Structure 1
Amino acid sequence: MFGAICGDTIGSTYEFDNTKDYGFELFPKGSSYTDDSVMTLAVAKWLLTDAEHTHGVLEKCMVELAEEYPCPVGGYGGMFREWLFRPRALNGRNGSPVDGKRHPYGSWGNGSAMRASACGWFFDTLEETERVAGISASITHDHPEGIKGAQATAAATYLARIGKKKDKIKEYITSRYGYDLERSYEFLNRTYEWDSSCQGTVPEAIIAFLESDDFEDAIRKAVSMGGDSDTLACITGGIAEAYYKVIPNHIAASVWSLLPEGLREIVLAVSEKTSYGRVFSI
């Protein structure tokens, strides 16, 4: 899960200033965690505290962390910001009640996938991993593509964590979710453009992992595709960490130094509660 935060932080300065240069600077001035990390940790906090995996507790975790960190780099996306801070503005959307409460709003955006990596660490079966990842998405992103993106991200993380080889991960994600994973990094580096949808982000992020040689290589491939760089690298980083079992210390230490104490505490709590362990040293 910390790998997702590392990817998010490295991609943060390139989200609105895309690069196709594989050799980009890892931590230029302004590098920081973004809303992707905050919401990843909100899901992690939910998994730590709610054995029933309810929408009510997840909403509480997401809103509380958003209120504590209201202005991360990149900011919260338009409708999601409304859901967090002005839920009445979304009432009536997709037939939801007009009651001032928070309701899902039919999104297929990649926000559901970028926050799902923690789901890959908490469960003993693939089925439970996918089920809970679906819940984590559906509180806001209840469009089938939004749910699929979160489930595919969590499933790839789980399969990587339990030691499945890349060909088996690719085979499962392709057959289960129908994503096209046959394109190459070289092709995407030339042709890929900004896309904030799950269906236009998750497959590309998984390809960056599948074609990588190590954790840093995976992140460099994800960011240098261009597009929604922090989210691409967040998704890639969560899977790559689970697979390679190590984050290079020059990356881990730099990211750790940028996290507020409250967010660090959630990372450490996950490492104590799950098989996650400490895959980085500070």
Structure 2
Amino acid sequence: MKKKIEKTFLGLAIGDALGVPVEFKSRFELQQNPVKTMREFGSHHQPRGTWSDDSSLTFCLAESLCKGYNTKTIAANFMRWYSENYWTAHGEVFDIGIATSKAIDSFAKGTPPTLAGGTGEFDNGNGSLMRISPLVFYIKDMPIEERFQKVKEVSSITHAHIRSVLSCFIYVEFMLELFNGIDKFEAYKSMQLTVNKFLNENAICSQKEIDNFHRVFENPIGDYTVERLYELDEKQISGSGYVLNTLEASLWTFLTTDSYADAVLKAVNLGEDTDTTACVTGALAGLYYEEESIPKSWLNDLVKREEIIDLSYRFSKSLER
């Protein structure tokens, strides 16, 4: 367990750090000068190996789960990050999503955490998906109904629209399959069957909402021809910060590559929200591939690597109780 958590945490943080210097750059720009290894400065003028809010909030969640499941504690950790620079790479917050900022302000003023996240159509950024991975290890032995409820609550702290919740749920269920050590394509198919069955048997949301995920589930819509997500061309994959685009992009980059390094570099070079796409991809690839798949130079560059490894150890130990 400890090694799987460690690989996941290192994998997501390195993906994040690879993307930070080129965040907001277009795919065209990155095609002219693709990211091939760690860079420094760039978009946020940060040193090499610096990770962003994506990893910070992930580690805040993990720290909370070390003490058990409590949404108030999770929210309190997010506030500590925002106001006290808790779990930041260099003692300062240099990036935060609008929806996350609003939610933190909301529960800081007394709103219950699970009611703080935005519920509108335009509140579907990728801010809960980017930080959800630690929950996988905490809920892995729970029934699927309880897993969904926990994912819903943790997502809703900042992103409460059902589309964000479903994106997180799909991602978590896929990671659970990978955790069990099966081939990634078998894991993907199993996730599709499991989540489709769950949605069909439970009145979670409308069919129209489920249809938004037709490329992930490979579900037909009318005369729409079903295509496998991992057989789509790069031009059909977006690197934007919209949660569904990030989910699709992370699944696509992971499924169309054969190593950790190739997966996260492919994610970064999609452009736009480079750090988050690579962070979400990096958690999948970190969990799935052997640790040796991560280039040593990237591990050496990673800021607070030992602190991240220590967190993975403490988290793992807490799950043994």
- TM tier, shorter chain? 0.7 to 0.9
**CA 1:88–1:120: 2 relative to 1, 3 Å:** closer
* 1:131–1:151 Cα contact (<8 Å) kept: no
Q: What residue is the counterpart of 2:128 in the other structure? A: 112
Q: Distance in 2 between matches of 1:196 and 1:239?
A: 18
Equivalent pair of 1:36/1:114 in contact (CA under 8 Å) = yes
Aligned to 1:76: 96
Over 3 Å counting, the alpha-carbon distance change for 1:224 and 1:22 in structure 2 is farther
Q: Is the 8 A contact 1:41 1:267 kept in 2?
A: no
Q: Tell me the distance in 1 between the aligned counterparts of 2:93 and 2:257.
A: 29
Distance in 2, Cα, partners of 1:80 & 1:215: 28
What residue identity is the alignment partner of 2:100? F
Counterpart AA for 1:250? S
Distance 2:75 2:314 in 1: 20
CA-to-partner distance for each residue in 1:134-167, whole Å, 9 max, x for gaps?
A: 2210122110111112122222222112112122
Shift of 1:129: 4.5
The match for 1:55 is 71
Query: In the alignment, is the contact (CA less than 8 A) between 2:263 and 2:285 conserved in 1?
Result: yes
Equivalent residue letter for 2:159: H
Counterpart among 224, 227, 236 of residue 281 in structure 2: 236
* 1:202-221 equivalent positions in 2, closer than 5 A: 202-221=247-266
Counterpart position of 1:187 = 233
Q: CA deviation at 1:6?
A: 1.3
Structure 1: segments with no counterpart, 5+ residues: 92-98, 276-282
Q: Which residue of 1 is the match for residue 37 of structure 2?
A: 26
Q: Is the 8 A contact 2:99 2:159 kept in 1?
A: no
Distance 1:234 1:46 in 2: 20
AA at the equivalent of 1:169: A
| Residue correspondence of structure 1 range 78-227 to structure 2 within 5 A | 78-84=98-104, 86-87=105-106, 103-106=116-119, 107-125=123-141, 127=144, 129-175=147-193, 176=195, 178-181=213-216, 182-184=228-230, 187-188=233-234, 190-227=235-272
> What is the one-letter code of the residue matched to 2:132?
A
Q: What letter is aligned with 2:102?
A: E
Q: Which has the larger radius of gyration?
A: 2
Structure 1 runs of 4+ aligned residues shifted over 6 Å read: none
- The residue number in structure 1 matching 2:298 is 251
Contact 1:117 1:238 in 2 (8 A): yes
Q: Which has the higher contact order (CA 8 A, sep 6+)?
A: 2
Q: Could you tell me how far 1:195 is from its partner in structure 2?
A: 2.1
Root-mean-square deviation (CA), in Å? 2.9
Number of aligned residues: 260
Question: Which residue identity is paired with 1:139?
Answer: I
Q: Give the counterpart letter for 2:245 in structure 1.
A: G
* Structure 1 counterpart of 2:55: 37
- 115-124 or 216-225, larger mean C-alpha shift: 115-124
